[in-house]
């Protein structure tokens, strides 16, 4: 009887906390979040016990024309697409066309990793659990930023040149390239492109009628966001598209309205509104079971005891309740998707700016209300952390540019252009050209044409690559490797600031000068 009374009190407490955050107060919180983190548009959705509690857009879809953001506005959900890739594979497993433990070479005979042993033994399961041995974001420059020239075939081939940073199956290191390979497995088995398969076999049957498998397939839709990124401390509109090569890692365009349909489908056992079960319970257990664990801090805000990656989702516990979640990020937009299946609760936050603090503040505040926790002022806490981090990032950039400015005055120490200008090549990324244009050194990537900028002398053997597109916030050191005669034989790169997105994996390049 005491347990029943305690359970009732906990339920009553949760309901009371949520009642205190009615839709009006939630809207106020979203507006405060938008203002605090300078996000032009945010759409938020909540589904509880199969009913949509909240689905609204706030702010504008684009600063260019001030179009309003609403619950139907399409946003690139980025890595939240990985759950769809995993679901597609689960469907093929149910159909007997695939096994999770099939070796990748069974379906892609040409596929190779750097290590011959890994090439022969890496499985489909390994591809989508971030345990291939490749490091965080390793290889992402093959598709990031947008506008690259490498095809899926090129990427699948070039994986063999990526020297792993860790032992095979030893650690969880988030990696997009392996999901691109997984997408090609789906395409090879089904005879359809990844986007076609996702639309025909998942999006439409589930009822996500306004969503698309890729940005290019949504070009005719007017109600979609423009991406925005901070430039000079203020959010501005930036190009928003996505390389078709990386759709399986992050290509879907969707809305809060449709993502709530997706949440409902998942929490109802992967069953559509007309009662069709797309994935068996056996495969759901695989998808939502930790396949690769990762350490958890002993003290954390949700008393989390376990954390890791399933198949396409992060799996953890929050205050003793299982959580299935994922985030996604492109240049100029970030998103978050959270399920607490045991509470029949789904939370979706889509934004058109790249502030992860914004979606975290909203998700955590909503989650806390349903978990019966008092308001912890996530907006204030994360705002303070962001301010502190930004200060550190700006100091890193300031220090680098001050040194470059001082070195510029030392003409006698600067390297002779004839000793370093020319073409440099990395086996997986391709060619980078250094040239002299009207007295300025320039750097241009052949396989990623938008990645171009000015080389500022930094030391006798190093430069700062200052990219033309200032929204990247990814300026990098370009350090020459010299022979005994003082001539460049190669180069290494690394970002000048920790703010740089991990997908700009300059540190993984091994550039050699082409004779």
Q: What is the CATH number of the domain that holds 163?
A: 3.40.710.10
Task: Please check whether residue 415 lies inside any domain of the structure.
Answer: yes
Q: Are residues 365 and 224 in the same domain?
A: yes
Q: pLDDT of 247-289, one tens digit each?
A: 999 999 999 999 999 999 999 999 999 999 999 999 999 999 9
Task: Please check whether residue 7 lies inside any domain of the structure.
Answer: no
Structure token digits, residue 436: 């002299």
Q: Are residues 341 and 465 in the same domain?
A: no
DSSP character for 123? Answer: B
How many other C-beta atoms can be found within 10 angstroms of the C-beta atom of residue 245? 22
Q: pLDDT of 327-356, one tens digit each?
A: 999 999 999 999 999 999 999 999 999 999
Task: Please check whether residue 351 lies inside any domain of the structure.
Answer: yes
Q: Are residues 105 and 239 in the same domain?
A: yes
Task: Please check whether residue 181 lies inside any domain of the structure.
Answer: yes
Task: Please check whether residue 2 lies inside any domain of the structure.
Answer: no
pLDDT of the residue at 363: 98
Tokens 């969707």 locate to 254
pLDDT at 412 over 80: no
pLDDT of the residue at 390: 95
Range of the structural domain that residue 91 is part of: 23-372
Q: pLDDT of 152-168, one tens digit each?
A: 999 999 999 999 999 99
- Please state the φ and ψ torsions of residue 103, each to the nearest 5 degrees: -70, 140
Residue 440: exposure state from Cβ atoms within 10 A (0-12, 13-18, ≥19):
exposed
Q: Are residues 347 and 478 in the same domain?
A: no
| E strand or H helix at 374 | none
Q: Are residues 82 and 187 in the same domain?
A: yes
Q: What total number of domains does the chain contain?
A: 2
Q: Are residues 349 and 441 in the same domain?
A: no
The residues facing 493 across adjacent strands are 478
Q: Indicate yes or no: pTM above 0.85.
A: yes
What average pLDDT does range 488-493 have in this prediction?
98
What is the end-to-end Cα distance of the chain in Å, rounded? 83
pLDDT of the residue at 23: 86
Q: Are residues 263 and 407 in the same domain?
A: no
pLDDT of the residue at 307: 98
Task: Please check whether residue 276 lies inside any domain of the structure.
Answer: yes
Q: Are residues 333 and 254 in the same domain?
A: yes
pLDDT of the residue at 512: 98
Q: Are residues 211 and 77 in the same domain?
A: yes
Q: Express as a percent the part of the chain with pLDDT over 70.
A: 96
Q: Are residues 416 and 335 in the same domain?
A: no
């Amino acid at each position: 009887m005491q347990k029943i009374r305690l359970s009732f009190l906990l339920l009553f407490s949760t309901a009371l906390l949520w009642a205190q955050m009615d839709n009006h107060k939630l809207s106020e919180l979203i507006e405060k979040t938008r203002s605090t983190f300078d996000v032009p548009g945010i759409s938020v959705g909540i589904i509880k016990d199969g009913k949509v509690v909240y689905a609204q857009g706030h702010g504008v879809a684009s600063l260019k024309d001030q179009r309003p953001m609403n619950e139907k506005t399409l946003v690139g959900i980025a890595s939240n697409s990985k759950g769809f890739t995993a679901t597609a594979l689960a469907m093929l497993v149910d159909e007997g066309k695939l096994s999770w433990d099939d070796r990748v070479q069974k379906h892609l005979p040409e596929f190779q990793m750097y290590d011959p042993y890994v090439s022969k033994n890496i499985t489909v399961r390994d591809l989508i659990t971030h345990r291939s041995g490749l490091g965080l974001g390793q290889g992402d420059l093959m598709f990031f930023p947008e506008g690259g020239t490498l095809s899926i075939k090129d990427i699948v081939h070039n994986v063999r040149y990526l020297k792993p940073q860790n032992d095979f199956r030893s650690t969880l290191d988030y990696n997009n390239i392996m999901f691109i390979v997984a997408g090609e497995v789906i395409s090879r088995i089904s005879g359809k492109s990844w986007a076609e398969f996702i639309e025909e076999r998942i999006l439409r049957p589930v009822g996500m009628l306004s969503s698309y498998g890729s940005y290019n397939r949504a070009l005719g839709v007017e109600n979609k966001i423009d991406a925005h990124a901070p430039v000079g401390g203020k959010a501005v509109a930036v190009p928003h598209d996505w390389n078709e090569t990386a759709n399986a890692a992050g290509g879907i365009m969707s809305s809060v309205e449709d993502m709530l349909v997706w949440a409902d489908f998942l929490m109802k056992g992967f069953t559509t509104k007309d009662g069709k079960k797309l994935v068996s319970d056996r495969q759901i257990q695989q998808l939502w079971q930790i396949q690769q664990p990762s350490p958890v801090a002993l003290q954390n805000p949700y008393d989390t005891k376990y954390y890791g990656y399933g198949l396409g989702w992060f799996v953890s516990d929050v205050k003793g309740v299982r959580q299935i979640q994922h985030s996604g990020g492109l240049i100029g937009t970030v998103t978050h998707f959270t399920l607490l299946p045991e509470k029949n609760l789904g939370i979706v936050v889509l934004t058109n700016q790249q502030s992860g603090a914004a979606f975290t503040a909203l998700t955590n505040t909503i989650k806390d209300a349903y978990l019966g926790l008092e308001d912890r002022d996530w907006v204030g806490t994360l705002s303070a952390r962001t301010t502190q981090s930004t200060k550190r990032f700006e100091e890193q950039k300031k220090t680098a540019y001050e040194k470059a400015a001082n070195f510029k005055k030392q003409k006698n120490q600067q390297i002779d252009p004839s000793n370093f200008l020319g073409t440099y090549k990395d086996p997986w990324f391709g060619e980078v050209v250094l040239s002299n244009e009207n007295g300025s050194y320039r750097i241009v990537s052949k396989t990623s044409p938008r990645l171009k900028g000015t080389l500022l002398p930094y030391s006798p053997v190093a430069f700062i690559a200052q990219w033309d597109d200032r929204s990247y916030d990814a300026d990098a050191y370009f350090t020459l490797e010299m022979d005994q005669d003082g001539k460049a034989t190669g180069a290494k790169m690394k970002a000048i600031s920790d703010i740089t997105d991990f997908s700009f994996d300059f540190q993984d390049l091994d550039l050699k000068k082409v004779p």
